[in-house]
Amino acid sequence: MTLKPNESSIELAERLGAMARVCEVVQSTQLSASVREVVLGGPATVLTGVAGSDVMIQVENSAGKLVRRRYSVRAADHDLDRFTLWITTGHDGPGSAWARHASPGDHVDVIGPRGKITLDEAADWHLFVGDSTGLAAFYRLAQSIEAPGRAIFIVEIDHPDDALTADFAEGLGVTGIFVDRQSRLRNDAAGLLSGLAAFAFPPDVGHAYLFGEFTTLKAVRFALLDRGLDEGAISVKAHWRTGRDNADHGEPDKSEP
């Protein structure tokens, strides 16, 4: 029997020009201290879009209210009609709580595809900067780069085993810089800026993709502009903001302090 999403999911999907479906948890595995992989069975072709796309899942917060959280799609298997999410679990948000307790057979409302960031196919090199919340999007985007090309990752992690890796196309140049957060605050961009300073821009056309904490991404964006990268060559997606809960629809608070 095919389950039907609740009416709020259907109405929201219609407003967004997306699709709403009920998906079933196939597998839930802790990959590292901070990242949990959740595999969902559902119409991957309909929900997952292209590399860089995300989905909205409906979860329950600590007050028992239904809210939505957005997660980049790590991978989609159209043959098996399933897709994979990497969800960070090092905090107490409703999405993290759902991922920690997700078990095979559980059902969840999913809306997708969402997101506006896609791979810049005109770029010769691609720079991915952020924290572990960006790894899923970074790796799916990079795995869609055609060789010869170059992918550079500068990712801040909280634990050594959060330095998760992936397989890429033969002939693709790959550089990975994992930065230990150490005792820095989560909205302190010093670690990412240090990693960025260690990277020399190649001479060809490049594009930067910034996914992670709101305040740190602002600092990284300004640093890239200062180094001469064009505004149109920087794509930014803030997943969260230190000290502020995401809104019910999953977006971080972007207002000024």
Most confident of 160-164, 199-203, 244-248: 160-164
pLDDT(257) > 80: no
Print the SS3 string covering 197-242.
HCCCCCCCCEEEEEEEEHHHHHHHHHHHHHCCCCHHHEEEEEEEEC
Q: Which residues does residue 25 pair with via DSSP β-bridges, in sequence order?
A: 40
pLDDT(107) > 80: yes
> Per-residue confidence at 256, pLDDT binned at 50, 70, 90?
confident
Q: Which residues contact 226 (CB under 8 A, 6 or more apart)?
A: none
DSSP 8-state code for residue 244 = B
Domains, the chain, in order of start with CATH, read 7-114 (2.40.30.10), 125-240 (3.40.50.80)
pLDDT of 255 reads 83
Our measurement of the distance from residue 163's CA atom to the centroid of its chain's CA atoms, rounded to an integer in Å, reads: 15
Question: What does the alpha-carbon distance between residue 79 and residue 89 come to, in Å, rounded to a whole number?
Answer: 29
Q: What does the radius of gyration of the chain's CA atoms come to, in whole angstroms?
A: 18
pLDDT(2) > 80: no
Is the pTM for the entire model greater than 0.85?
yes
- Comparing CA positions, the residue from 189, 187, 190 lying closest to residue 243 is 187
pLDDT of 146 reads 92
Give the pLDDT mean for 7-14: 96
Dump the DSSP string for 105-158.
T-EEEEEEEE-S----TT-SEEEEEEEGGGHHHHHHHHTTPPSSEEEEEEEEES
Alpha carbon separation from 121 to 96, 149, 158, 209, 228 (Å, rounded):
33, 10, 32, 13, 20
pLDDT of 96 reads 95
pLDDT(40) > 90: yes
* 59: three-class secondary structure by DSSP: strand
Instruction: Share the mean pLDDT of the chain.
Output: 95
pLDDT of 1 reads 62
Give the pLDDT mean for 78-105: 95
pLDDT of 238 reads 96
Cβ atoms < 10 Å from Cβ of 90: 17
Q: At what angle do helices 190-197 and 214-226 cross, to 10 degrees?
A: 30
Q: Which residues does residue 75 pair with via DSSP β-bridges, in sequence order?
A: 84
Question: What does the alpha-carbon distance between residue 160 and residue 78 come to, in Å, rounded to a whole number?
Answer: 32
